[in-house]
């Protein structure tokens, strides 16, 4: 039985963004934190990989986990509580599917001499070329951007975690329309310099962006835009590239997203979005670094697949004790890791606490529009 003077120990078996933030907060206020993950990298499903690292990640998720038989070793009064695999709900049917083909000379069109001189030859990118240049770019498992005035940016600044990462402002916001990629005018200067909009459309757009802060409606976002008589061109920009909502979204949600977009303009650049230089996986790692600075312990390549639950009788009171059970052999090492965790620190049930963190996933059947963003090259 632990005494009230012993600090509470928090333990988590999953290193993702929410868990990293909670671990950093607990470590910062003096709590003992143990962070365990079966992976060899941080950030879990928020990770950023090189192309070779992405192929390795795909291979690891294609291997079926072996069934454990720890229940054969149970004694009287003990019970195993298996932990669910968070990857099972978000990662399914993962395959490495790529095809390379070349047109035969008979199928290739033969351009005229004038066309061959005027049109530049396009450089083909093959699978072998991607593998060779795979360390020159990163691939994020989660494709997200941060608003310059969003809650995550405010948290990074207030907690001083932003010093562990570098950020760049997205230089342009692009949209796909009528088979072409067009730049979305974001600021006032972009609106009046845009060649996609006529003079009348520029005035309508500026008038709408100025007045949308005061508008409150209860109809659908698309119908609200059509009632404003903005035209198909402006409707596409506002709905899919500025508000970034679906056509059947409520007008209040569309206006709130537009206001958020406008409030974030000009804080760090010409667009409202920020992006970590080395990928979105840097954000959870930054909070992990802060947790480690204040005494947090991290154990990668170790997993906890179940809890050993048993009862302890002490002075006519029952204490529930949990022990973390790890596999006998990890993926890369032959050692094992075992730690103990108690559900509470007091003799009364009122002093016991239970913590859980839930992940948010897109609703089933939701198909977002295509968003294209351009980042300046890093030298």
- In order along its 379 residues, the chain shows pLDDT tens digits of 334 444 445 555 567 888 899 999 999 998 888 888 888 888 888 899 999 888 888 887 776 555 455 555 666 656 666 666 656 556 666 766 666 555 544 455 555 555 555 556 667 778 888 888 888 888 998 888 899 998 999 999 999 999 999 999 988 888 888 888 888 888 788 888 888 788 888 888 887 777 776 655 555 666 777 777 777 888 888 888 888 888 888 888 888 888 889 889 888 988 899 999 999 999 999 999 999 999 998 988 877 666 666 554 444 334 444 454 454 444 444 333 333 333 333 333 333 333 322 223 334 444 443 333 334 333 3
Answer yes or no: pTM beyond 0.75.
no
Strands, DSSP E only, in 111-258? 139-140, 146-147, 167-169, 172-177, 180-183
Per-residue model confidence (pLDDT) at position 255:
85
Q: What are the residues whose beta carbons fall under 8 Å from the beta carbon of 328, sequence distance 6 or more?
A: 336
Q: Each residue of 308-359: pLDDT tens digit?
A: 665 544 443 344 444 544 544 444 443 333 333 333 333 333 333 333 222 2
- Where in the chain are all domains bearing CATH 1.10.405.10? 179-270
SS3 254: helix
Contact 249, 220 (CB under 8 A): yes
- Where in the chain are all domains bearing CATH 3.50.50? 8-71+127-171+274-379
Angstrom distances, CA of residue 40 to CA of 60, 88, 93, 157, 218: 11, 18, 22, 28, 49
- Residue 310 CA to its chain's centroid (Å): 37
Q: What are the residues whose beta carbons fall under 8 Å from the beta carbon of 14, sequence distance 6 or more?
A: 37, 44, 86, 357
Q: What is the CATH number that goes with domain 8-71+127-171+274-379? A: 3.50.50
Instruction: From the options 3.40.50.10320, 3.40.190.10, 3.40.50.1000, 1.10.405.10, give the CATH code of 179-270.
Output: 1.10.405.10
Neighbour count for residue 9 (Cβ, 10 Å): 17
Per-residue model confidence (pLDDT) at position 300:
87
Per-residue model confidence (pLDDT) at position 217:
54
Angstrom distances, CA of residue 333 to CA of 11, 25, 71, 297, 330: 22, 31, 24, 18, 5
Q: What are the residues whose beta carbons fall under 8 Å from the beta carbon of 197, sequence distance 6 or more?
A: 185, 191, 205, 233, 234
Computed from CA positions of residues 68, 69, 74, 77, in that sequence, does the dihedral angle turn out positive or negative?
A: positive
Per-residue model confidence (pLDDT) at position 148:
92
Angle, CA 96 vertex, CA 91 and CA 102 arms, to 5°:
150
Length reported for the chain: 379
């Amino acid at each position: 039985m632990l005494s009230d003077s012993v600090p509470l120990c928090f333990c988590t078996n999953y290193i993702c963004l929410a868990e990293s933030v909670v671990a950093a907060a607990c470590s910062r206020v003096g709590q003992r934190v143990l962070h365990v993950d079966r992976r060899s990298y941080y950030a879990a499903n928020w990770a950023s990989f090189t192309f070779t690292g992405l192929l390795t990640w795909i291979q690891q998720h294609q291997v079926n986990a072996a069934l454990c038989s720890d229940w054969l070793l149970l004694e009287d009064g003990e019970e195993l509580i298996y932990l669910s695999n968070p990857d099972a709900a978000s990662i399914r049917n993962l395959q490495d599917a790529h095809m390379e083909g070349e047109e035969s000379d008979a199928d290739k069109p033969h351009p005229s001499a004038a066309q061959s001189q005027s049109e530049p030859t396009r450089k083909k990118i093959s699978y072998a070329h991607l593998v060779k240049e795979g360390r020159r770019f990163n691939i994020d498992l989660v494709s997200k951007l941060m608003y310059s005035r969003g809650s995550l940016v405010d948290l990074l600044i207030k907690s001083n975690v932003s010093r562990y990462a570098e950020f760049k402002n997205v230089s342009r916001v692009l949209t796909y329309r009528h088979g072409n990629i067009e730049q979305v005018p974001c600021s006032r200067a972009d609106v009046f310099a845009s060649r996609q909009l006529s003079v009348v459309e520029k005035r309508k757009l500026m008038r709408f962006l100025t007045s949308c802060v005061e508008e409150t409606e209860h109809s659908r976002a698309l119908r609200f835009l059509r009632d404003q008589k903005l035209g198909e061109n402006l409707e596409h920009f506002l709905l899919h590239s500025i508000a970034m909502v679906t056509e059947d979204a409520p007008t209040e949600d569309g206006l709130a997203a537009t206001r958020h977009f406008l409030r974030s303009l000009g804080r760090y650049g010409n667009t409202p979005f920020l992006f970590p230089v080395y990928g979105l996986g840097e954000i959870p790692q930054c909070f992990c670094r802060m947790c480690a600075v204040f005494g947090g312990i991290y154990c990668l390549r170790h997993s906890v697949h179940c809890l050993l639950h048993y009862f302890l009788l002490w002075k006519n009171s029952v204490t529930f004790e949990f022990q973390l059970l790890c596999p006998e052999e990890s993926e890369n090492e032959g050692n094992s890791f075992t730690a103990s965790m108690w559900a509470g620190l007091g003799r009364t049930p009122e002093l016991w606490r239970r913590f859980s963190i839930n992940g948010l996933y897109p609703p089933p059947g939701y198909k977002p529009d295509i968003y294209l963003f351009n980042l300046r090259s890093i030298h």
